[in-house]
Chains A and B, each alone.
Chain A
Amino acid sequence: MIAHAAALLVVPIILVGVVNRTKSCWAGRKGVPLLQAFYDIVRLARKRPVYSSVATVFVKAAPSVVLGTAVVSGLLVPLLGRRTPLSFPFDFVFFAYTWGLGRIFLMLGALDTGSSFEGMGASREATYSALVEPAFFLAAGTLAAASGKSSFAQLLRFRPDDPATAVVWCGCLVALFVLLQVESARIPVDDPSTHLELTMIHEVMVLDHSGPDLAVIQYASAIKMTVCAGLLAALLNPLDAAAGPALFAAANLGLILGAGIVIGTVESLIARLKLRSIPEYIFLAISAAFVALLASTLRRGGLG
């Protein structure tokens, strides 16, 4: 429990560092320190926030809700392997809707300032998150159907043992990876480092957040990325139940950081998609999960 909480709070900082270091390696730069995200958060937290004169309570409340939902969703995901602090049947439904709550408040915080740029960001966020939601449920539902289990920690223990289940497993991995890219605003869906407001999604929603509020939002989005990477890691972890919990947790954390390297590599090699092609990219996730779903019935002796 305490180890889980510690991992949930510390790993995001390192994961962001790993992604940035990977990107700088590909670009041939020396790169910022691994803990730069931490220094940034500390620096921002010391500043005095500035609020828009139009804004009301929503701008102030949004960061807390976003961070709170990110942390609670993190409690449902097996970051350290097998067990999670919060686990109950069909907790993945709660997980998805908790993210939905955080997202709504982020969007309301954006609309609160009356800025057209932030409205634009909120509109995009709402659109893409609505599209990616079925992909997550298809993937989770497929794992539930294939494994006959219902809580996150059990679902993610699904491992392939024949060609049909290998298709199920791969399809779910692809869907979850695209989910990660959409939800934590990574290339090719969104570029977290751009400064051109017209093309952004996440960053443009927080234009009027400053100081500690901005720090909280950046931290929350790092946590969300870690949680997503945790899903992938738990599904990938090659160790079986015989391995000790410490070894298992270490492997899981290693895989999470490995996911960071993959994210950074994708970001370095691929350009950001045009906004109008993003739905097609998300459709890739939906189709992958759908193929996985179809394959999950093959194992049961054909469709029927």
Chain B
Amino acid sequence: MIAVLAAGLTLMVGAVLALALPGNRVRAWAAIATQAVATALILAAVIPIVMGGAPISAQWSWPFPFEVVRVRVDALSAFFLAWSLPMTLLGSVYALGYLRPYFEAGRNGGPHFALLNVTSLAFVMVYTLENALVFLLGWEIAAVAAWLLVIWDYKNQKVRFAGFNYLVSTHVGMFFLVAAFMVMHSQTGSFDFGAFSRFLHQPGALRNVTFVLLVTSFGLKSAFFPFHTWLPRAHSAAPAHVSSLMSGVIHKAGLFALLRFTLLMGAPEEWMGWYLIGFSALSAILGVLYTSSQRDLKRLLGYSSTENVGIAGLGFGVGVLGLCWHQPVLVLLGFTGGILHLLNHALFKCLLFYAAGAVYLATHTVDIERLGGLVRRMPRTAAFFLIGGLAISGLPPLNGFVSEFLIYLGLLNGAVPTGRARVLLVCVAALLAFIGAVSALSMTRAFGITFLGQPRDSQVHPKSDAPAPLFITMFLHAAGVVLIGLWPPAGLWFVRSAVGLFMNLCTPVPGGLPDLSSVLMPVAGASLVLIAVVGALLLLARRTQGSVATQTTWGCGYSAANTRMQYSGTSFSSQFAAIFEAVLPQLRSEDLPVGYFPPDGRLATHYVDAVERRMFQLLGDGESLVTQAVARIPDQPRLAFAAGLVALAVIVWLIVLANGGVA
């Protein structure tokens, strides 16, 4: 416990130092050094718990309104702390390289590094405090710190707008959380999570309402659909390390809270599991559809966060259903898959954002339609982006496959009791397969258009490859991605005790549970066979490809092709987007050349977020839409008749209700 407190204090001292010291390098190093110390302290405290040790806890009695503040590091907190802090530290190292051009221009980086420290502090608070008021404080600190980090480039109006959008959205989520806490406080008279837990153990309408409020709030925090609209903006506006920390680490707090309250709830009801699965499936499918047509690399990655929290949520949903059906196998597979996917997503998503940041640093753009051929100038960044892209598409032999495989195992498991549930879960598995394939499409497109082919815009002059701080950060993340992919027990070891908490909620079965390591080892073995075969073939090919002739790319007879004639990102996805036009509407603005001697023509297309547009359209013009609809009623006898019937039915229903129902 001392270590956790000391870590919190060190982080605060670091934040103050970063603000007070002179010179950007000193400030940055002060922040990084204190974060490193805090990370070491936290790891020293939590690694024993991750390995299965007893949780540590302490409590203070404070005056009104806090009453009792309990600090508790159990396996779930330990798991989240064990990677959140190190990854924030790596993000700060990355910032050192990424912000250098700004520092050279004389910008003061102190507040930025102080905020990174404060973010780490918020993790320590949110993941350990078991009192609703202080928890909210940590939650708010994380939100405001993330907002301030996003608007680093605050002189740009678009960035300010994106930041404001984020600030509003995250507080809308906060309202739901406060509402849920108010319900629980009114029922228990306490802010302590232990008291909440006793309330949440009793089934009833109030518990259901609380559950929906909580899921909505945590969904907003983790950018579940349809609460994702702030996310692509914020991610494309923020500096790369901030986008990556937000997407990979900060927003995992929402899923942490979801898991925490699932634990507090003890015995969930079946509809809650289905609710989670439905919500997550919708998130995953729409998130991935949006990734397929973005031209802004970071926006694309932002949408892919919505997809991946959805995939993790599917795992949680399976786990919750397992709890209801008393099927420990499903609990094990669902929660292991979901929690491992959180970690995996943090690894490969940060890697991808860091690679996108390296591209931005070298070219000053992340618009894939202006890039191309970067693999020649930035081979290391390209390799890292490819590793991240393959992992995020869930392909073997990388880590994304391991967690998705576990989730498939849960979805297709024979332990599902009823036929109807089986049908639904197999359909969800098919959906997950579709999501994986579309993710592969998006990543092929993002990598292929950005890094392969020829440069599309002559005004983009890529400078050198990623500098050392960027390289180190990306290398470490990529190492994690490959490690968990090739040696799945490493990942399982990390999540085992956190999953154990959920296993404690269900009654053990007599036959015992499958050991997941032994389930995953054949998969890892098959991955190794794959690597061996492909590697052997590559070596063989290297021999035969020795003496080569070079020619221009075959243009099917056309010999004057130029770089602007390459396939663009938009054309790559247009066929796919046309199939899903309802959610991927394309906006065209064109001024096509006509006549024999036409002036210059112009054509611009871009894809917009249909949900966001419709939502704001509905919010903005909702009342006029209703008025228009109502105004049409008297014109048409049919509609008037129908409306009259509906009104009559409602009136009768109300009268019956008022009289205490039908006797």
Residues of A within 8 A of B (CB): 45, 48-58, 60-61, 63-65, 67-69, 71-72, 75-76, 86, 88-91, 93-94, 96-98, 100-101, 103-104, 107-108, 111-120, 122-124, 126-127, 129-131, 133-138, 141-142, 144-145, 148, 150, 197, 207-208, 212-213, 216, 275, 279, 286, 289-290, 293-294, 296-297, 300-304
**B286: shortest Cβ distance to chain A, in Å?**
15
B563 touching A114, Cβ below 8 Å: yes
Chain A residues with CB under 8 A of B376: 56
Q: Is B565 an interface residue when CB atoms closer than 8 A count as contact? A: yes
Chain B residues with CB under 8 A of A108: 444, 447-448, 452
B537 touching A123, Cβ below 8 Å: no
Q: Which residue of B lies closest to A93 (CB)?
A: B408
Q: A48-B548, A137-B433 are known contacts. Are A72 and B533 too (CB-CB below 8 A)?
A: yes
Q: Is B549 an interface residue when CB atoms closer than 8 A count as contact? A: yes
- CA–CA, A120 to B433, complex, Å? 23
B396 touching A123, Cβ below 8 Å: no
Chain B window 518-543, contacts with chain A (Cβ cutoff 8 Å), 1 for yes, 0 for no: 01001101100110011011101100
B554 touching A208, Cβ below 8 Å: yes
Contact of B395 among A104, A126, A141 (CB under 8 A): A104
B526 touching A91, Cβ below 8 Å: yes
Name the 7 nearest CB pairs between A and B, nearest first: A119-B567, A111-B448, A297-B419, A88-B522, A114-B453, A68-B534, A141-B426
A136 touching B433, Cβ below 8 Å: yes
- CA–CA, A296 to B431, complex, Å? 19
B434 touching A90, Cβ below 8 Å: no
Chain B residues with CB under 8 A of A142: 426
A123 touching B573, Cβ below 8 Å: yes
**B641: shortest Cβ distance to chain A, in Å?**
37
**B514: shortest Cβ distance to chain A, in Å?**
9
Q: Which residue of B lies closest to A279 (CB)?
A: B579
B452 touching A94, Cβ below 8 Å: no
Chain A residues with CB under 8 A of B17: none
Q: Interface segment, B343-351, B435-443, B473-481?
A: B435-443
Q: A111-B453, A112-B453, A114-B373 are known contacts. Are A293 and B426 too (CB-CB below 8 A)?
A: yes
A141 touching B412, Cβ below 8 Å: yes
B549 touching A50, Cβ below 8 Å: yes
Chain B residues with CB under 8 A of A64: 534, 537-538, 540-541
- CA–CA, A119 to B448, complex, Å? 9
Chain A residues with CB under 8 A of B533: 68, 71-72
Provide the main secondary structure of the chain B interface.
helix
- CA–CA, A222 to B429, complex, Å? 29
Chain B residues with CB under 8 A of A60: 541, 545
Q: Which residue of B lies closest to A211 (CB)?
A: B544
A101 touching B563, Cβ below 8 Å: no
**B164: shortest Cβ distance to chain A, in Å?**
36
Chain A residues with CB under 8 A of B579: 127, 131, 279
Q: A104-B393, A130-B576 are known contacts. Are A49 and B434 too (CB-CB below 8 A)?
A: no
Chain A residues with CB under 8 A of B482: none
**A282: shortest Cβ distance to chain B, in Å?**
10
- CA–CA, A267 to B626, complex, Å? 55
Contact of B437 among A100, A116, A296 (CB under 8 A): A100
Q: Which residue of A lies closest to B434 (CB)?
A: A134
Q: Is B422 an interface residue when CB atoms closer than 8 A count as contact? A: yes
**B639: shortest Cβ distance to chain A, in Å?**
35
**A150: shortest Cβ distance to chain B, in Å?**
7
- CA–CA, A78 to B175, complex, Å? 56
Task: Name the interface residues of B410-427: CB closer than 8 Å to any CB of A.
Answer: 411-412, 414, 418-420, 422-423, 426-427
Chain B residues with CB under 8 A of A122: 444, 448, 567, 572
A114 touching B436, Cβ below 8 Å: no
**A84: shortest Cβ distance to chain B, in Å?**
11
A127 touching B441, Cβ below 8 Å: yes
A86 touching B526, Cβ below 8 Å: yes
B544 touching A212, Cβ below 8 Å: yes
Q: Which residue of A lies closest to B394 (CB)?
A: A97
